[in-house]
Structure 1
Amino acid sequence: MKTPPVNPKVIATLPVFLSVCLAALLIRHFHLTQEAIPLVLGIIAGGLVDLDNRLTGRLKNLFFTLLAFSISSISVKLTYGQPVTFAATMTLLAFLFTVLGTVGLRYRTISFGTLAVAVYTTLSHHPGENWYTSTLMILIGTSMYSVLAVLCHIVFPHRPVQENMANAYAALGDYLDAKAGFFDPDEVGQFEQQQIRLAMSNHKLIAVFNLCRSALFYRMRGQHRHPRTSRMLRYYFAAQDIHERASSSHIQYQDMVEKLKNSDLIYRYQRLLELQAQACRNIAASLRDNEPYVYDERLARANKGLKQSIEYYAATHPGGVDVHALQRLAANLRGVNYQLSHLESGLDQEHDSEATRIANTETSGLANIIRSIRSQLTLESAIFRHAVRMAIITLVCCAIVEGFNLSLGYWIWLTALFVCQPNYSATQSRLKQRIVGTVLGVFVGSLLPYFTPSLETKLIVVVLATTLFYFFRTNKYSFSTFFITIQALTSFSIAGMDTAAALPWRVVDTIIGCALAWAAVSYLWPDWHYLALNQTGAKAIKSEAGYLRSILKQLENGKIDDVGYRSSRRKAHESAAALSSTVSDMSSEPDKYGSKLQTGFSLLKINYSMMGYISALGAYRSQMKQSEDDAGFLDLFFAAAYSLTDLLETADIPDEEAFRQEYETLQHQLEQLQELAADGHNEQSSVLWQQLVMMANLLKPSREAIQQAEAQA
């Protein structure tokens, strides 16, 4: 069955829309005006914890969700009205559930929803009702949403994975565009900015790749693999191969552009990369429209023109840029073309093949979960600091509400829960949007009573506002806050509460909640006191060493994209992305980070240069040839390469004498390799030697940058 080209956000919003419509019908038919608030809040909570998964995985998530929601809501009902016990219980829940989020995405998502349910239960409490009424309504609302989400999954089973893949190719297109900037002769003096732009593009790309990997992993856990899943798996591996080739560095770009700036050759490289970037965006569009991708023949013509231009340059500039390096660069781009042209015609590999497996990064088993949580119980962990902040915020909110006897004061807690994020920059961005959205929502909400005189019209507003809140919640937070404010005020009106009196308190409580969130991230173990730039940089370089070691093993034994190789490559890129994120956070707060900022940029540039040289060897695996004539060179090459890997792994160890001795040994090996490469007149030897030399040249700068970061820590 062909899935219609429907906006994926509309598909994702369907379960919320349908479940709120069903809730509205139940409220109207059975006159459940008092139960309206917890019923709709239960639907919202179900939407907040919804995770894409196969059918059995969704049912498993639902079981854990209902269990966690029950514990949270019942804890509120049993302690509400006992200020000390209630505050202590909620504080403990806030800490425990936030820390539980360290285990994995599923636990983190359910934990956040569970805390939201605690606040929802508090806000929907009505004097005189049975103790179980709110809890039951919240669980019914969550179950309604989950059942309809499963039905939508059955109708559109592959759209979430396909949308993730479309996002990956769109991000890959942006990355290729950033790489094309290296070949712009008019931007010769902007090389440093281009490196930073590429690093930030890579950070976004790795985040999207991780979402794709998770989605595919959950879909592949069963015995049967759907043909659509196999197709998306092929797209995923093709994207990874393109990324590795695009990450490769075969030449010093700055020198090359300077020498070729008056030649058409540099423009041909740039144009081919830009065409490939556009091809990736075309793939994203075809996935979203559910149409097969059609390869653009302009790519083949551009590749042919580049080849001819290289041949002409070689004939007319015998003393110019290294022609072999230009040819390797062109061959790498030709490999990207190959992946793009064979995307739809590739043959699926065997289901149990090592090359089609995806690494499991989810923590499972009680012992492993406990070990994972225990490892985070230190102030050096951002998640632990966030958990302590959330516990303190919860305690302060409870004290404010009880101390001033605020009837709807727990809006303060709700605001702080949604606004307070693990880092300062994200919190600051959210609190501004929250205040703006709330103020506008209150203004519009104050006018709604004139247009919604009946229960039916109020229910229509609840349906629309809840649906639009969910639609905008991931990309327009101010919009989502605006609509959820309207939804809350209308729901209170349905329940018979005085909304006019609640309007100013909604704004005041929002401002107080935002202020608490801001104070928490600013004064309770702020990020800039724990920003371990030296540790993040060292981890990135050590991950690169693991990636290089995996490549060397494959150069020795033959190329195979097994799960071990892909995992080492992924870890290297994730560590590089973490460094990019750290530097990005620093650059948003230059006054707080001071001199650390320049060191961060230096580490970032070195890291991505090293990643480029290593990736070039990874892309070269399929061309590697072993012969008796090259045996002497290869023996020495692998010895030198593993020595370099050892030096990368110990880049943060302050033993200068040991480093100096090993570095001198490596330089001696490289000199011998250069002689063997020159004597053999072998292009392969030249390639391997050159990549090793470029990596070795970054050893001292990387070590110095880490030491400088340690001195500033």
Structure 2
Amino acid sequence: MVLNFKLDASKLNWTIACKAAGLAMFILSLGLVFNLDFALTATLGVVAAGLADSPDFYQHRLQSTLLMMASFSLASISVTLLFPLPWLFAIGLFCSSYLFMRMPVLGQKYGAISLCSLIIAIYTMLGYNTYETPWLQPFWLVIGALSYALLSLLINALYPTRWLDRQLDQIFKQISLYQLTKTRLFQREANITDIQVKLTAQSADIAEQLGVIRHGLYVYQQRNKQHVGSSQMDRFFKAQLLHERLSSSHLDYQRLQRVLPRTLLADTRTVLVKIARVIGAKHLDASAEKELVSAVDDLETARANLKDVPPRFAYMLKNLHKVIALCFNEQHFPEPEQSFSPFTRISVKQYLSQAADISLSINRHALRMATLMLLAYGLIKLSGDEHAYWLMLSCLLVVKPNYHDTKKRVDKRVYGTIVGVGFAAALSYLRLPDIALTSLIPGLVLLFFLFFHLNYAISVAMITVFVAISLDLQGYPANEALIVRTLVTVIGALMAMAALRYLWPDWQHKQSRKIISQLFANTANYQTAIFNQYFNGDVEETTNFRLSRYHAYQSEAELVRHWQYMLAEPSHKQRLSPDLYQLVGLSHHLLSHLSALSTHRTELQSNQAAERLACLGELIQSELQLMHDYLLLKGPHRPIVQANNDAFTRAINQILPQLVGNELLIAYQLQLIGKDLKKIRQLLVNGKW
């Protein structure tokens, strides 16, 4: 269902929603006393400012506020000035849409403010004929936006880490759910393949959330340069470490289900479920640590009394001990004052110089959007209906850079509009007094922001009712406007889907080689970092090690999203999806087996083993580099990749007799890594790349 009410309240955007709803209540209360039309316009400014709210906004607070006010003023005043001049207006609309839609290359803050500037421009178009003096409208829109910005700055100054704390709480819940899913691998007759696919998707979600938190930490550090280390940073590093240890794979689960007794499988799953609950809990009971340690020790005792249990099961239990210790004890992270490096962004000069480069994906998206806005304006002028400007807003809010997100938005906007029109018609039938209708608006604003990112259909339904109430309060026939809104929403949906198909489309298969090769490069860096710690006898979470792990997991998440986005595209554009499905699974296996090596890293006891391990590390590096070059290079520079290459397997067999004790884990994991690399190589050779 599109309107799904089974929601986790912790995922709702309460901070922005409460700020916007509270301001709306205050402004409309004043409107009931002085002028309700001005109050409704100011409330639209609050809504636009709320949509522009992002963590980046608080990095340079004065600059961000001035930028928002300048952008909103420019957009609204330009519409008011050019609206009576259709040809000049059309030229300005196309150029401004193109330039504004390119703004995300300068940073998240600029992208959010530029998008909402276009929203303000469309609000100005919709309300142009409702004012006897049109120049009053830009003033009240900007006043509403300014009030939201000032309130946000005040709240952020009082609670600077609230957003980060919420995101960190969410990441631990996600890790807990990941662990709960993994417990199903210890169910008899479980579908291992389906579970591992779900685990891969959940791991990608965790990696993406870690990326969001990392960006928030960077913004927080830029504001507090005198104090870089923080409890939030420690929690972030702890989440990274938990993700690595829980995603590590020591076992062949198909074989494990055959050789492990039912009782041991059930007991193992029970312990894993308890650990998952501990990870997701906000408050921990100190006695629970002893209980979990005792339960894992009991599993080890049961394992030792059985002959057919693979030795790798013991290494998994050791990993569980480390996970339990990490959950209940403060973890020491070296270099606590480590500062995140700035994220990649371009200067204003580069922004202008790249404006005509149509090879850039962001430029194609901007050109597509500008063309769509111009076509929508042409249709509106032909229709002659002032309410048809909702068509432009529909196009602006549903068209995304990729086909997957656009299709998802289109469905929800259509359903949400229909539901909203139904609610609005019911309210119209009740004929409520103005004060009752006005009192509903803050609640609608609250629900709009609560669900905007979580369930867009609900947000669309709420804003549709808001629009109907506003028209009714201003004395306009709301029923007629709602019929037009429904029609233009459907037309906008069709235009959006057509634009993604035929106007400079960005199909996923064109990006496959680049995304996969980047995954190989980041996996190779992660493997090098792990092996270096084995050679140096260093088990500390150094900055270089953390960064290599972070980028490896981010690349895996990007590959998963790439495959998922491809599945939403037309069938004739999905020729790579079967191969990508296999690669997603294999890459997750490879990263899980490397993570297990990382989890148990220690100093090698044998010099000969260190030399052999260094040779194996070079083999892994050369294998990943070979596959990287195979995907990126063309013509005579492209290397030849053979489907079968047993050099790695032979090298592992040579190192096995030289390993003792815990070093045997290295051999076990290297055998699994060798199998992963062989399967990936065969997939590249036999695939449709």
TM-score, with structure 2 as normaliser: 0.89
Superposed CA offset, 1:177-222 (max 9, x none): 22222222321xx222122111111121112222222222222334
Give 2:22's match in structure 1, choosing from 10, 18, 21.
Answer: 18
CA contact (8 A) 1:539 1:575 kept: yes
Superposed CA offset, 1:363-417 (max 9, x none): 456269639x949945573x44432321121011011012222222211011111
**How far has the Cα of 1:637 moved from its partner?**
0.7
1:327 partner letter: A
Task: Return closer, same or farther for 1:599/1:626 CA change in 2, 3 Å cut-off.
Answer: closer
User: Which residue in the other structure is 1:605 paired with?
Assistant: 585
User: Which residue in the other structure is 2:294 paired with?
Assistant: 304
**How far has the Cα of 1:121 moved from its partner?**
1.7
2:50 partner letter: G
| Partner Cα separation in structure 2 for residue 652 and residue 508 of structure 1 | 49
Matches within 5 A, 1:440-455: 440-449=419-428, 454-455=433-434
Matches within 5 A, 1:201-600: 201-223=202-224, 230-260=230-260, 262-282=261-281, 286=282, 293-295=283-285, 297-298=287-288, 300-317=290-307, 320-323=308-311, 325-343=312-330, 354-357=335-338, 359-363=340-344, 366=347, 370=351, 374=354, 377-379=357-359, 381=361, 383-449=362-428, 454-526=433-505, 528=507, 530-557=509-536, 558-588=538-568, 591-593=571-573, 595-600=575-580
**What do you get for the CA RMSD once the two structures are aligned?**
3.1
Superposed CA offset, 1:214-249 (max 9, x none): 22222233447889x833322222111111111212
| Partner Cα separation in structure 1 for residue 422 and residue 595 of structure 2 | 55
2:270 partner letter: R
Task: Return closer, same or farther for 1:300/1:263 CA change in 2, 3 Å cut-off.
Answer: farther
Task: Return closer, same or farther for 1:659/1:635 CA change in 2, 3 Å cut-off.
Answer: farther
2:211 partner letter: N
Task: Return closer, same or farther for 1:206/1:441 CA change in 2, 3 Å cut-off.
Answer: same
| Partner Cα separation in structure 2 for residue 45 and residue 436 of structure 1 | 22
Task: Return closer, same or farther for 1:161/1:656 CA change in 2, 3 Å cut-off.
Answer: closer
SS in 2 for 1:426: helix
**How far has the Cα of 1:26 moved from its partner?**
3.3
SS in 1 for 2:230: helix
1:362 partner letter: F
**How far has the Cα of 1:694 moved from its partner?**
2.0
CA contact (8 A) 2:16 2:50 kept: no
Superposed CA offset, 1:290-333 (max 9, x none): xxx2146455434433334334433441xx3432x222111111
1:578 partner letter: E
2:385 partner letter: L
SS in 2 for 1:647: helix
CA contact (8 A) 2:185 2:195 kept: yes
**How far has the Cα of 1:56 moved from its partner?**
5.7
**How far has the Cα of 1:136 moved from its partner?**
1.8
Give 1:641's match in structure 2, choosing from 613, 617, 620.
Answer: 617
Task: Return closer, same or farther for 1:115/1:646 CA change in 2, 3 Å cut-off.
Answer: farther
Matches within 5 A, 1:103-114: 103-114=106-117
User: Which residue in the other structure is 1:196 paired with?
Assistant: 197
User: Which residue in the other structure is 1:703 paired with?
Assistant: 681
Give 1:64's match in structure 2, choosing from 67, 70, 76.
Answer: 67
| Partner Cα separation in structure 1 for residue 638 and residue 676 of structure 2 | 16
Gaps of 5+ in 2: 1-8, 631-636
**How far has the Cα of 1:80 moved from its partner?**
1.4
CA contact (8 A) 1:36 1:494 kept: no
1:314 partner letter: A
SS in 2 for 1:64: helix
Task: Return closer, same or farther for 1:667/1:595 CA change in 2, 3 Å cut-off.
Answer: same
2:619 partner letter: S
| Partner Cα separation in structure 2 for residue 192 and residue 376 of structure 1 | 46
Superposed CA offset, 1:631-668 (max 9, x none): 12102211221231232122143489765699565445
User: Which residue in the other structure is 1:653 paired with?
Assistant: 629
CA contact (8 A) 1:45 1:113 kept: yes
CA contact (8 A) 2:59 2:219 kept: no
CA contact (8 A) 1:195 1:605 kept: yes
Count of aligned residue pairs for this structure pair? 674
User: Which residue in the other structure is 1:617 paired with?
Assistant: 597
Give 1:45's match in structure 2, choosing from 40, 48, 73.
Answer: 48
Give 2:156's match in structure 1, choosing from 153, 163, 171.
Answer: 153
SS in 2 for 1:294: coil
User: Which residue in the other structure is 2:6 paired with?
Assistant: none
| Partner Cα separation in structure 1 for residue 257 and residue 349 of structure 2 | 51
User: Which residue in the other structure is 2:656 paired with?
Assistant: 674
**How far has the Cα of 1:334 moved from its partner?**
1.0
| Partner Cα separation in structure 2 for residue 70 and residue 592 of structure 1 | 45
| Partner Cα separation in structure 1 for residue 91 and residue 250 of structure 2 | 60
Task: Return closer, same or farther for 1:410/1:334 CA change in 2, 3 Å cut-off.
Answer: same
| Partner Cα separation in structure 2 for residue 701 and residue 374 of structure 1 | 41
**How far has the Cα of 1:128 moved from its partner?**
6.7
| Partner Cα separation in structure 1 for residue 355 and residue 255 of structure 2 | 46
User: Which residue in the other structure is 2:633 paired with?
Assistant: none
Task: Return closer, same or farther for 1:587/1:529 CA change in 2, 3 Å cut-off.
Answer: closer
CA contact (8 A) 1:123 1:408 kept: yes
| Partner Cα separation in structure 2 for residue 561 and residue 378 of structure 1 | 42
**How far has the Cα of 1:589 moved from its partner?**
5.3
1:236 partner letter: F
| Partner Cα separation in structure 2 for residue 485 and residue 525 of structure 1 | 31
| Partner Cα separation in structure 2 for residue 449 and residue 339 of structure 1 | 58
Give 1:87's match in structure 2, choosing from 61, 86, 90.
Answer: 90
When structure 1 is superposed on structure 2, of 568-577 and 425-434 the one drifting more is: 425-434
| Partner Cα separation in structure 2 for residue 438 and residue 641 of structure 1 | 57
CA contact (8 A) 1:652 1:703 kept: no
CA contact (8 A) 2:413 2:460 kept: yes
Superposed CA offset, 1:447-498 (max 9, x none): 4356566543343233332232222222232221121112112223333433
Superposed CA offset, 1:538-593 (max 9, x none): 32222211211222222233133233222221111111111111222334458345
**How far has the Cα of 1:356 moved from its partner?**
4.8
Task: Return closer, same or farther for 1:127/1:311 CA change in 2, 3 Å cut-off.
Answer: closer
Gaps of 5+ in 1: 287-292
User: Which residue in the other structure is 2:5 paired with?
Assistant: none
1:638 partner letter: A
Query: In the alignment, is residue 122 of structure 1 matched against residue 125 of structure 2?
Result: yes
CA contact (8 A) 1:300 1:337 kept: no
CA contact (8 A) 1:185 1:257 kept: yes
SS in 1 for 2:454: coil
Task: Return closer, same or farther for 1:300/1:649 CA change in 2, 3 Å cut-off.
Answer: farther
CA contact (8 A) 1:181 1:194 kept: yes
CA contact (8 A) 2:107 2:345 kept: no
Task: Return closer, same or farther for 1:157/1:662 CA change in 2, 3 Å cut-off.
Answer: same
Task: Return closer, same or farther for 1:650/1:380 CA change in 2, 3 Å cut-off.
Answer: farther
